[in-house]
Amino acid sequence: MPEQAMQPELSAALDRLWRQHLPQIEERVSLLEAAGKALTGERLADHQRETAKAAAHKLAGVLGTFGLMKGTILAREAEMLCAGDADPATAQQLTAIAAELRAVIAGRT
């Protein structure tokens, strides 16, 4: 089968996979939002930090798979923030990244 003939099939398959994984992707962004809110109130527990860090790591991979490189970059930044110091500036950055991720995801759907 010629490569051009495969493009619509590949695109359709990626769209199906996107729809299938979208709830999980959105849940991972929600975890980042919750971590940002908890950081704002200086009550981010260690397990919540690790959960948010893992969610950011997984987002970086899956968003790249779907060609959302800006999302991958943002998720990697969120992962680094979750691994670093907990302060008001970090909370603000994490909240802003989560909002940007929502916009990137909305642009794909």
Whole-number average pLDDT of the chain = 91
The pLDDT score that the predictor gives to residue 33 is 95
What is the pTM for the complete model shown?
Answer: 0.89
Distances (CA, A) of 80 to 4, 23, 26, 60: 40, 24, 20, 12
Whether 73 has a pLDDT exceeding 70, the answer reads yes
| Cα 20 to Cα 32: distance, rounded to the nearest angstrom | 21
101: tokens are 């991720």
User: 65 to each of 27, 40, 74, 80, 93, how far by Cα in Å?
Assistant: 18, 31, 14, 20, 24
pLDDT in the model for residue 2: 54
pLDDT above 90: residue 104: yes
Q: Where are the domains of the chain?
A: 30-108
